[in-house]
Structure 1
Amino acid sequence: MLNAALELFNERLPHKPYFSDDLHFGVRIAGKERAILAKYIQFNQPHTMFWLGFDVDRAGATIDWSDRNAPAPTLTITNPENGHAHLLYALATSIRTAPDGRMKPLKYAAAVENALRKKLEADAGYSGLICKNPNHEHWKIAVWQPELYTLDWLADFLDLNAANHKEIVADYGLGRNCMLFDKTRKWAYRAIRQGWPEYEQWMNACYERAIAYNLQFAAPLDENEVMGIAKSIAKWTLKNLSKDGFDEYVKRTHTHYIQSLRGKRSHGGGRKSLNNPWVEIGVSRATYFRNKNKYKKNET
């Protein structure tokens, strides 16, 4: 069972993972053959998540998920010196984290991830970039669940009803991808109209904005992920939001007739005829309801 889990882990590694033998000196990047020898390694691919990973910094982390009625991890990778562990849950279907992926499944995955983190009482500051490498002899490895998880199966252990929209895009894990994409694209929809820039200039503007939003997270996303989000938004907005297209949209939605109707609605005129018939008739609300039947006969 352990060999199968390790084989799955190694198979799903990025081609050039981040790795480190000592986190005090930061991380480096190299081919899988070199990185797989290190104590710490990047376990998910840049735009694809095969594992939900959690950092549990307390003694007994290897087993106390059971006391919390949490689902069994696929792998626990434990530091024998203090009992702290990384808990990894292998997914049957990977989660596309790139901004060209569908946002609805990503938000669902973020909600599951966040609810599971709370149940495990895992470290909310964990970036999720690297984990203890289960191939390294320094760590103690255990396999608890050989079957691959679906998000729905994990959700069966969790209370997602309490998760509102803000929690789904929380400052943690997948939630950061959702939040960064949403905030940057909303800014881009407005900002592109200020001059309709060329691609390079626009790409740099989107990247700078995404970087600024990313720095607001307690554990910012990796720079490559930020660049991917910025690039996707820059390309989409340039392709779909042109000056000619915007002028046509304004022409189509701001005709004299439509503006007139909007003006009436903004002053209550559009709603009075539907919901305030006493205004149309020219009587008070109380008078209208006292003589409602008479007025209705007159209307018909």
Structure 2
Amino acid sequence: MSNVALKLFNDRLPHKPYFTDELQSGLRIAGKERAILAKYIQFNQPHAQFWLCFDVDRPGAAIDWSDCNAPAPTLTIMNKANGHAHLLYALKTAVRTAPDGKIKPLRYAAAVESALREKLGADVGYSGLICKNPNHDSWQIAVWQPELYTLDWLADSLNLNSANDKKILPDYGLGRNCTLFDKTRKWAYRAIRQGWPEYEQWLQACYERASAYNLQFVSPLEENEVYGISKSIAKWTMNNFSEISFSSFVEATHCSDIQAKRGSIGGKVSRGGGRPIGSVNIKSTEQKKPWLSLGISRSTYYRKIIR
């Protein structure tokens, strides 16, 4: 394996990664110097994703990415016994998943990740927390792309139309962060109006709601990520929503004059039934008053024709 690629991997490790030698034994956490000796290790930092990693469980996974017309991985880490592999793509700029991160870049990264996972045929149940450690001699390592990827560069090889908001897997990789943020914030916009709680009480409520949503994922996010998302939403809603500002909003948008104008507009739009019959123009006299074209009265029309 290239010393440059190995150094990049090691430099980007968390200060205290999760690690294990046997997946069945669970994970431990320790300093980088100890964790780097294990067979499996946490490769992304808690709030910064420097790598997109995919778990491909089929023989030949370390090389058949080219048959899928996928971009070349930065490195592949293969199980010598069965040919299954982790495929890692190194990002030039980390995707920030911290509470102060922006949601739009996160959505874009989730779309790229989802489309690339689909192209590679990677495991949708992979949590993305730990990977095979390239420092360990149990695995066969290969470096394919020495240059660091940007999301745009990866996107050039992908069809992001198949990874729009509706298609991004809501419980896979970065899609979990997007899903958890969206579901919790939409709940929070309504819930904060129910009593206008103090901040600590409100933060706990947001955390409990986000934790409940998180449990619906096949591979839930780590607790610190859930707390970070909850705190971000709690602070924003507390700073931007208040009983006074909400009352002012209702008063400004739901006064009797505005409601009357809305009602008159709605009446004009819906007059005449609002639905065309066959190919008849909805605005035509025949559509609005069909009895006139028949030369009969309205009452006769409804009594004899419409029965």
Smaller-chain TM-score range? 0.7 to 0.9
User: What is the identity, as a one-letter code, of the residue corresponding to 1:233?
Assistant: I
| Counterpart position of 1:251 | 251
State how far apart, in whole Å, the 1-side matches of 2:140 and 2:154 are: 25
State how far apart, in whole Å, the 2-side matches of 1:220 and 1:166 are: 20
Deviations 1:188-241 (A, max 9, x none): 000000011112211111111111111111111111111111111111111111
* Counterpart secondary structure, 1:212: helix
State how far apart, in whole Å, the 2-side matches of 1:215 and 1:259 are: 42
| Counterpart position of 1:77 | 77
Q: Quick one: structure 1 residues 199 and 60, their matched pair in 2 at CA, closer, same or farther if it must change by over 3 Å?
A: same
Deviations 1:244-268 (A, max 9, x none): 11112112212221122233344x2
Q: Deviation at 1:24? A: 0.8
Matched, 1:35 2:35: yes
Instruction: Indicate if the aligned counterparts of 2:89 and 2:149 stay in contact, CA closer than 8 A.
Output: yes
Instruction: Indicate if the aligned counterparts of 1:18 and 1:41 stay in contact, CA closer than 8 A.
Output: yes
Instruction: Indicate if the aligned counterparts of 1:261 and 1:270 stay in contact, CA closer than 8 A.
Output: no
Mark the runs of 5 or more structure 2 residues left unpaired by the alignment: 276-282, 293-307
Q: For the aligned residues, what is the CA RMSD?
A: 2.4
Mean Cα displacement is larger for which, 131-140 or 254-263? Answer: 254-263
State how far apart, in whole Å, the 1-side matches of 2:243 and 2:30 are: 44
Q: Deviation at 1:166? A: 1.3
Instruction: Indicate if the aligned counterparts of 1:108 and 1:168 stay in contact, CA closer than 8 A.
Output: no
* Counterpart secondary structure, 2:162: coil
| Counterpart position of 1:210 | 210
Deviations 1:28-60 (A, max 9, x none): 222212211111111111111100000011111
* Counterpart secondary structure, 1:122: coil
Q: Deviation at 1:152? A: 1.4
State how far apart, in whole Å, the 2-side matches of 1:7 and 1:251 are: 61
* Counterpart secondary structure, 1:236: helix
Instruction: Indicate if the aligned counterparts of 2:112 and 2:163 stay in contact, CA closer than 8 A.
Output: no
Instruction: Indicate if the aligned counterparts of 2:115 and 2:162 stay in contact, CA closer than 8 A.
Output: no
The TM-score, its normalising length taken from structure 2, stands at: 0.86
Q: Deviation at 1:136? A: 1.2
* Counterpart secondary structure, 2:166: helix
User: What is the identity, as a one-letter code, of the residue corresponding to 2:78?
Assistant: T
Instruction: Indicate if the aligned counterparts of 2:59 and 2:83 stay in contact, CA closer than 8 A.
Output: yes
| Counterpart position of 2:178 | 178
State how far apart, in whole Å, the 2-side matches of 1:198 and 1:287 are: 59
Q: Percent identity, please.
A: 72
Instruction: Indicate if the aligned counterparts of 2:99 and 2:231 stay in contact, CA closer than 8 A.
Output: no
Q: Deviation at 1:164? A: 3.2
* Counterpart secondary structure, 1:162: helix
Q: Deviation at 1:98? A: 2.5
Q: Quick one: structure 1 residues 169 and 63, their matched pair in 2 at CA, closer, same or farther if it must change by over 3 Å?
A: closer
| Map 1:221-240 → 2, pairs under 5 A | 221-240=221-240
Mark the runs of 5 or more structure 1 residues left unpaired by the alignment: 291-300
